[in-house]
Amino acid sequence: MVRHGRSLALSVAVNVAPSRLCAGKYSSDVQDMILSNAVADRVPIAVSGVRGMGFLMKYHIGTGGQLPAKLSSLLIKCLQNPSSDIRLVAEKMIWWANKDPLPSLDPQAIKPILKALLDNTKDKNTVVRAYSDQAIVNLLKMRQGEEVFQSVSKILDVASLEVLSECSRRSLKKLAGQADSTEQVDDTILT
């Protein structure tokens, strides 16, 4: 319970005051602790760790920086986790961190995350599939146009490109034409 409380507190702190915790002398300690929480053996601790990773991701995108390699690779591992709860939270955080006003990530940074999300579009869990589609739409900034989609398509391998084209035809274009959800990802404070 103590570990869970600490992981929740750190996740909320990174959400509320990222500029204080993610820059300067605390940045590496905060990132290491969040990544450690995300790989915890207890699902509630891991879920709050993945939420913290999403808040870190949004901070790095918002400051115009690149995602740290450790953060990106662990995010991909979370998308491939056997627990659908972990996969779902990872997809929600990618969706949330890449919402409209923020700039796009570099296509090379998008590519491995996109491949993991494309794998989840074939998941047996319907909710995981749906959030994977939502995350892809925001990751590729499809509501603003096809520019990021086209630049990432140029660097994908043939198999991933086929899956992306199939998803685009099946659901992504329809989702991109709709307004983005206003769902809140921080459920630590109930209103």
Q: How many CB atoms lie within 10 A of CB 149?
A: 21
- The pLDDT of residue 150 is above 70: yes
Question: What's the pLDDT band for 182 if we cut at 50, 70, 90?
Answer: confident
* CA 170 to the chain's CA centroid: 22
pTM, full prediction? 0.91
Query: Which residue, among 46, 53, 149, has the nearest Cα to 96 in the 3D structure?
Result: 53
Identify whether 84 is part of a domain.
Answer: yes
Question: What's the pLDDT band for 188 if we cut at 50, 70, 90?
Answer: low
At 147, which CATH number? 1.25.10.10
Report yes or no: 60 and 19 within 8 Å, Cβ to Cβ: no
Identify whether 183 is part of a domain.
Answer: no
The pLDDT value recorded for residue 172 is 92
Mean pLDDT of the chain: 91
pLDDT tens digits, 46-88 = 999 999 999 999 999 988 878 899 999 999 999 999 999 999 9
- In angstroms, the CA 116 to CA 90 distance is 11
Q: What is the DSSP annotation of 73-96?
A: HHHHHHHT-S-HHHHHHHHHHHHH
pLDDT tens digits, 11-22 = 999 999 898 888
Identify whether 104 is part of a domain.
Answer: yes
Question: What's the pLDDT band for 187 if we cut at 50, 70, 90?
Answer: low
Identify whether 191 is part of a domain.
Answer: no
Identify whether 86 is part of a domain.
Answer: yes
Q: Name the residue range of residue 104's domain.
A: 1-177
pLDDT tens digits, 85-136 = 999 999 999 999 998 778 888 999 999 999 999 999 999 999 999 999 999 9
In which residue are the tokens 């591992």 written? 77
Burial class (CB in 10 A: 0-12, 13-18, 19+), 139: buried
Residue 22 token pair: 């993610």
Residue 7 token pair: 């992981």
Residue 111 token pair: 């590519």
Range scoring the smallest mean pLDDT among 27-41, 98-112, 136-150, 163-177: 98-112
The pLDDT value recorded for residue 103 is 85
Identify whether 119 is part of a domain.
Answer: yes
- The pLDDT of residue 191 is above 70: no
Identify whether 138 is part of a domain.
Answer: yes
* CA 1 to the chain's CA centroid: 26
Identify whether 95 is part of a domain.
Answer: yes
Number of domains the chain contains: 1
- In single-letter form, the type of residue at position 118 comes to L
Report yes or no: 52 and 37 within 8 Å, Cβ to Cβ: yes
Q: Is the dihedral of CA 86, 92, 96, 98 positive or negative?
A: positive
